[in-house]
Chain A
């Protein structure tokens, strides 16, 4: 395993021995030449803002940045679908020389006329940061002329990693917050932050909150709408799931409007139930708490017996996790435990030291914990721990399959809803159908292991 690890990365991988305190290096730039699984600042902004469905999302840059992020999220909309189009200024050499502001202005005017969006987000890319186009002034001019708010997103790719992009996205949204009418928002109201409506997840979450008497003001950003974000400061509470992505906005709203926030997770039945209780507890409403219990009881009665069936089949199987944000990893560890499985490796692209400390607390002895890993390390972990299933995103998938390991896609491109009670059932079903598939028996690596075992 040491051979897979670059010398300068040795402090970024630890093994849980339960006795020594976590001493992991994280939140630093990826080593050059390390094939990091990370993306860039632009990517961070794009994934957060992308699901706002009635805004134009214009990428000011060369064509690649727009194309590689075209409709890659499974973020569904119940209405407009502007977010699924890929707009770009397609910067050319001549723009690099003479500046791209004029082109950006023309593009914005053209797209606003053509699509009549509620707002326009303009993403800055590496090259724009270098040639120094003034997005702020172009956006100001366009806003004035068209009446449609154009917002610059300062997301030059090289200015940090994905986390910096989350901050830039929150800063962009903060410009909308506070500009809408809040007069008819009831006191028992929340904003849902950090859910992106992959495969319709936010619709299920919203329904659960509404069942206990809560009004949801804004979805930020899954199935998101500009006008909802404008008035979301009228809500009483911010309920934040993907905290890496949207906690910054929640913090700003706390400072500006005094709106408190709670952190939740919708993944796994334990965390989902806790999320509903936490909101009910916040409003200190007995009726609401009773409703919450009732809702959760009903949902559990539906899924629990089925989950037990899966648990029987999956008991003792080994799982490895490598995801973008570490917060999601907590829920995944719990979810695997619910299925009777052991998590033997867990890592993230952008975790913080306290998150890794928490991971050490909730995982078993011997579990590998890794920050900003790469294919070479990941494949060596899979082999060393002989895992039965690997959870990750598209870039991780071929690593697993090549080595004959089952895989579950749990990043922002997934097409199956994995949140909430039904989502847990879907997750169990997906894990089950991958782990139990007969195809792994034919894979060279497994075939060799089995041969060795039968010779022993």
Chain B
């Protein structure tokens, strides 16, 4: 059932995915001192900035080679070089992350060659930023593939020759999670005395403080010095059951630098988080800090407190594949029945990954669709009588139509405040999600009740 059932499916209405270069810019924003740069026409950069700003409410500068008609005909090389020069002059970045667009992929710009020419003609003596290029034609794949490909390209370009393995140093490739999630991962690593290199790290660059002076490039991000040393880590932990092998940074580190890799699901819910913590225990050969055993205990305690309000409720989950997998697995744990799991992504793994993450908790397999859009989600929802939706802001219209609450997770959240502060990961994230879901259902029940009620 992973293929759309309708033979005439041609157009896309209200897509449930974003384009590949978008993912690239987000990943580059999580590297210290880096400036994302789109090689294409000006609109791509401006649109993506606007889209990202509306979620994070943070400045998001994306440089562009601003190609015009002449460049489209004669090649974008000169503009790319000019743009790199201007960005270097004005922003003094440590790294410029160059992602291609559908335009430059199709006119056939040889970006690695142009960059090579640029670097060899640059003035010596002047400090030049590191250049990392990734091919992200927007007509194939989604923003998530662009994101992972960028992480992998960065590792490939920046990581240096392995020296001795550094004890208790772990690479974490978290995928596209929220700044709050990354902060939580950092806290876990710190409490455990793990030297973690989290790539990318958007915890500060896309959720920064108010400032006295404007920063040319927001502070924070994965330090380039740490990326250089990723090949010397004890292990790599990569989140994402849908990540294809050719986009896996963990596999690359394993192949190139023999760093053992652990590819896990995104730690959303109890069991996926358990697996993450067990993996860390195995790698570090030390038990988890008590703080987290206690968090786990409190989470399970609250499962009991809340179970009656959520049991048997029917949920529609949509969004990026890995988030859908994680959320579905969590819902299965608390007795909510996922009736539809949908994503615009098309990894081919969604169904298998959901079943494997949910194990025997799912009595009945939900409808699972890849490569779908909101038109189809809406059509299918009509027959499913869901009690709630879980996903990003784009489900808002559907939630209004069905008169069921929407629990906002993932990206983009652009009709509410605080998208960047949503915690999805770990026991604490699961706790937050449980409270959010149970309370949304209680609110709905209270609102619908003719008399209302106050005690639970």
Contacts and interface: CB of A to CB of B under 8 A. Distances in A.
Interface stretch (A257-265, A359-367, A375-383): A375-383
Interface in A191-247: none
Given A33-B37, A87-B13, A160-B68, A443 B90 contact: no
A33 B87 contact: yes
B326 interface: no
Interface in B15-54: 15, 17-19, 21-22, 37, 40-51, 53-54
A14 interface: no
Interface residues of A, number: 77
Nearest to B47: A68
Contacts of A24: none
Nearest to B218: A402
Contacts of A443: 210
B425 interface: no
A93 B10 contact: no
B113 interface: no
B15 A68 contact: no
B252 to A, nearest CB: 23
B14 interface: yes
Interface string B63-91: 11111110110000001101111110111
Contacts of A106: 8, 10-11
A29 B66 contact: yes
A58 interface: yes
B139 A127 contact: yes
A330 interface: no
A62 B139 contact: yes
Contacts of A311: none
A304 interface: no
Nearest to B51: A68
B46 A130 contact: no
B101 interface: yes
A89 B89 CA distance: 40
Nearest to A411: B50
Interface stretch (B102-110, B270-278, B310-318, B435-443): B102-110
A375 B103 contact: no
Given A111-B11, A395-B50, A93 B139 contact: yes
Contacts of B417: none
Interface in A20-70: 29-43, 58, 61-70
Contact of A158 (B60, B72, B83, B85): B72
B304 interface: no
Contact of B19 (A62, A131, A383, A442): A62
Nearest to B17: A63
A1 interface: no
Contacts of B142: 63
B163 interface: no
A85 to B, nearest CB: 6
Interface in A423-456: 442-445, 447-448
A29 B69 CA distance: 11
Contact of B46 (A36, A58, A70, A103): A36
Interface string B92-133: 000000000111001100000000000000000000000000
Nearest to B72: A158
Nearest to B9: A110
Given A95-B139, A376-B90, A398-B59, A36 B66 contact: yes
A78 to B, nearest CB: 18
Contacts of A37: 46
A444 B53 contact: no
B1 interface: no
B41 A157 contact: yes
A404 interface: yes
B10 A379 contact: no
Contact of B103 (A39, A63, A68, A130): A130
A158 B49 contact: no
A43 B46 contact: yes
A406 interface: no
A58 B41 CA distance: 20
A399 B214 contact: yes
Candidate in A61, A70, A157 with the most chain B CB atoms within 10 angstroms: A157
A106 B82 CA distance: 41
A4 to B, nearest CB: 8
B50 A68 contact: yes
B84 A33 contact: yes
A67 B412 CA distance: 11
Contacts of B12: 63, 66, 87-90
Contacts of A341: none
A404 to B, nearest CB: 6
Contact of B72 (A43, A85, A129): A129
Contacts of A296: none
A126 interface: yes
B43 A43 contact: yes
A394 B214 contact: no
B48 A68 contact: yes
Contact of B212 (A29, A69, A442, A444): A444
Interface string B131-156: 00000011110100000000000000
Contacts of A395: 46, 49-50, 53
Nearest to A3: B90
A307 interface: no
Given A398-B59, A404-B210, A107 B102 contact: no
B216 interface: yes
B412 to A, nearest CB: 10
B58 interface: yes
A91 interface: yes
A313 interface: no
B210 A93 contact: no
Contact of A31 (B86, B137, B212): B86
A445 B65 CA distance: 33
A289 to B, nearest CB: 44
A287 B53 CA distance: 51
A130 B101 CA distance: 13
B238 interface: no
A92 interface: yes
A158 B39 CA distance: 12
A16 interface: no
B211 A402 contact: yes
Given A107-B10, A398-B57, A64 B137 contact: no
Contacts of B137: 93, 96
A68 B25 CA distance: 15
Contacts of B212: 444-445, 447-448
Nearest to B84: A33
Nearest to B21: A64
B54 A32 contact: no
Contacts of B84: 33
Contact of B41 (A40, A66, A69, A380): A40
B66 A394 contact: no
A368 B210 CA distance: 25
Interface in B211-228: 211-214, 216
B378 to A, nearest CB: 11
A63 B18 contact: yes
B430 interface: no
Contacts of A38: 42, 46
A81 B89 CA distance: 47
Candidate in A40, A58, A89 with the most chain B CB atoms within 10 angstroms: A40
Contacts of B8: 106, 110
Contacts of B11: 58, 87-90, 106-107, 110-111
Given A67-B51, A68-B48, A85-B13, 7 more contacts: A36-B42, A36-B64, A43-B43, A64-B44, A88-B13, A130-B103, A394-B50
23 contacts: A31-B66, A33-B86, A34-B90, A36-B42, A61-B102, A63-B12, A63-B15, A67-B15, A70-B14, A93-B139, A95-B139, A111-B11, A126-B103, A129-B72, A158-B67, A160-B69, A376-B91, A383-B213, A395-B50, A398-B53, A401-B210, A402-B208, A402-B210
A-B residue pairs, 3 tightest by C-beta:
A40-B43, A64-B19, A33-B83
